[in-house]
Chains A and B, each alone.
Chain A
Amino acid sequence: MIRLSLLTRGEPLSQARCSIPTSSIRRTFTPSLLSNNIRSFSTAWTLRNALTEAAAPTRPFKVAVIGSGPGGFYAAHRILKHVPQSSIDMFEALPVPHGLVRFGVAPDHPEVKNVMHTFDEVAENPNFTFIGNTSVGTYVTPGSKKADLEISDLRPHYDAILLAYGAHEDRLLGVPNEQTLKGVMAARSFVGFYNGLPCEQDLEVDLSKAETAVVIGQGNVALDVARILLTPLEELKKTDLTERMIKILEKSRVKHVHVVGRRGPLEVAFTAKELREMLQLPGTTFHMDQELLASEMERAGKTLDRPRKRLMGLLEKGIKESKPDQPKSWSLQFLRSPLGFSGDSDNQLKAIELGINRLEGDNSNRKAVATGEKEILACDLAFRSIGYKSVGIQGIPFDERKGIVPNMDGKVVDAEQNIVPGFYASGWLKRGPIGVIATTMADAYQTADTIILDWNSGQPMLNNDSSSMKNSSKPVLELLKSKGHKTVSYKDWKKIEQKEFELGAKVGKPREKFLTIEEMLRVVD
């Protein structure tokens, strides 16, 4: 039996909505099947049929989506496609949508941003409402700013609430001086800064005195940072990199970037496209430990899968074809863990102390073990890029250790694995901050499928019948209005975007982003 954890004022199980009479779907998806024999519908075939053939409730299906990045938009896309009577309100804390597609994807990867066209299509659906400039759910972190709406404000008005607000914080290294010295910053903040994320515009970025930068971490964000620092400025000027960042890069003296990881080449998290771009940087020598690569590849032998094999092949080729003594350089440094940062009397970063590791364990589970040896790496800038972290919001279960909302295929569960009816999660909040947009798409679709199945099979959600729903079509908008809160619609966003296109066109860029919420709102006032 599924025990229902009733978060706050939830409906008792006995009243749970089960409004669908018998239908083909009930044979496959009775609640008892769901609870007792989860594997009985364990084929894509069954899932597919449930998505398309279900005799679903005929009243409107009201869904609130918190967050407007790919995790939210792709789920909305799928729900709107499969549940004709669904109605989706998408809440976004900023006046502008698209989350990390706008603020995370590198400016020199415009092709990745093509996904925004699909999001625009979703927004054109008459059953979709974008409610921008409206935060939902105060973070549990002490001292967090109060959100415009709490989950409890939404509950009465929706059947389902999908949490897709992503991963807002970066992970700390936990070593001395990482938060006190000038020149040490989170890669996340730097990426947000150069992509125009309003809350990161106060970041102090001075590249005019820095010659050597270190990036701690070996994922795609780390390579994005390295690439932005080393790419010829004339290339970046054609992108939507902010004018503020371009001004800073004009004064940049950065010539060398070291990308440091605690394990070996087989454990890197970046992908081939990003590595290939680094190896193609003009006037830039590439260094890495060739012997380590050779020995690690030999050790792994035939166990390497195709993607890993190709990635290692690319590194080999990079070493072989790298032109020595170019004006700029970058390197991959392995088996190094930061032990601390040190600075000069002005509190300016000067060096990182690195502990040298060796690798232990079998191929699938290689661990870095400290050897006790240390080395000092002189540098003027350091970016910690060891991952993002989600933060919990009031009234929603959160797994602090994993940094995610605990869930089963997107269905939120509490600490005891009890289902929390009507709550779902997708994107990085659901599975942690890993993967490319396609990964988030697949994952958002999975959550959407879970939601659709639950709706179609009459699983308990937040409202049991239409009588509990207020008559007004947009009670939450009315609530916000009564508070004097200004919301931003998708149409408003398109006006802001149009203005950004116009400003960009003047300087030969695809767009010039507004850097403050005030500037964004001024366009729609």
Chain B
Amino acid sequence: MTILAASTRALRSAISSTCRTPRNQSILMQTGRIGSLASWNNINSNILLSQQASFSTGAVWQHGSMPRPAPGTGIKVNFVKPNGETVTVEANEGESLLDLARANDMDVEGACEASLACSTCHLILDEASFDKLEEPSDEENDMLDLAFGLTDTSRLGCQVLMTKELEGLTAKIPSATRNMYVDGAKPKHH
């Protein structure tokens, strides 16, 4: 278990440092039972690590198992919750916005565990930060196309890895539900 965690960590940092590897270059890692490292403790078959950000998911980093940066030392990120409240948190370098959101109990799903198979970690970035990032891959755009409330500065949280250049990034969390009352559909009512 420890070996897996360590090697995954090493792989991850290696990949993060080269950053932006070709997206569809998959690395299949055979693992045994990962055990109780985290809540996703029943991943029992192939873990598909489809690209760099995937290394941050699954067994190793769940639920704050990655040490949080000492206050004042991390990269500052502002999450704007669906209710409008802004929460400023600190990120580790190389951490994805999805992992950062989860570590800070933000309501961001990540249903497919960063394997680029869903759009549930959709975040809306501020324009300046969005422009600092490389273009989303085709595969990410394919999933963004299925997101509710897609904007010009939308990204999947699992695909955005934090760097010092992104200090002060603001990410708006779209509502997880499409509330009909908000969307304007009017139910018939007696």
Contact = CB atoms under 8 A, between A and B. Distances in A.
Interface stretch (B71-79, B88-96, B142-150): B142-150
A114 B190 contact: no
A13 interface: no
A126 B39 CA distance: 15
Interface in B120-176: 120, 138-139, 141-143, 145-148, 150, 175-176
A510 B113 contact: no
Contact of B115 (A114, A118, A438): A114
A276 B111 contact: no
Contacts of B11: none
B182 interface: yes
B82 interface: yes
Nearest to B185: A409
Contacts of A442: 148, 176-178
A178 interface: no
Given A117-B43, A121-B39, A437 B187 contact: no
Contacts of A128: none
B44 A501 contact: yes
B139 A273 contact: yes
A441 B120 contact: yes
In terms of DSSP, what is the predominant structure of the interface of chain A?
helix
A501 B42 CA distance: 11
Nearest to A34: B189
A114 B45 CA distance: 11
Contacts of A479: none
A438 to B, nearest CB: 5
Contact of A418 (B40, B82, B180, B190): B190
A43 B111 CA distance: 25
A395 interface: no
Contacts of A118: 111
Nearest to B24: A280
Contacts of A3: 190
B181 A111 contact: no
Contact of B189 (A41, A310, A417, A494): A417
Interface stretch (A44-52, A164-172, A251-259, A296-304): A44-52
B48 A110 contact: yes
A443 B147 CA distance: 13
B186 A112 contact: no
A472 interface: no
Contacts of B138: 272, 276
Given A109-B117, A115-B111, A446-B177, A38 B187 contact: yes
Contacts of B178: 442-443, 446
Contacts of B182: 42-44, 47
B82 A44 contact: yes
B155 to A, nearest CB: 14
Contacts of A311: 145
Interface in B95-131: 109, 111-113, 115-120
A9 interface: no
Given A110-B48, A111-B115, A121-B39, A449 B145 contact: no
Contact of B118 (A436, A501, A511): A436
Given A44-B182, A418-B190, A117 B118 contact: no
A35 interface: yes
A114 B116 CA distance: 11
A441 B187 contact: no
A278 to B, nearest CB: 13
Nearest to A446: B177
Contact of A441 (B46, B50, B111): B111
B84 interface: yes
B120 A438 contact: yes
A71 B106 CA distance: 22
A307 B145 contact: yes
B2 interface: no
A416 B188 CA distance: 9
A306 interface: yes
B185 to A, nearest CB: 9
Given A45-B84, A114-B117, A417 B142 contact: no
B181 A115 contact: no
B25 interface: no
Contact of B179 (A35, A44, A112, A501): A44
A511 B45 contact: yes
Q: What are the 9 tightest A-B residue pairs by CB atom distance, in nearest-first order?
A: A111-B115, A307-B145, A272-B142, A510-B45, A408-B187, A111-B117, A42-B181, A114-B113, A445-B177
22 contacts: A1-B190, A35-B189, A44-B83, A44-B179, A111-B112, A115-B111, A115-B112, A120-B42, A121-B40, A271-B146, A272-B138, A276-B139, A306-B150, A408-B189, A409-B187, A417-B189, A418-B190, A438-B118, A438-B119, A438-B146, A449-B179, A510-B46
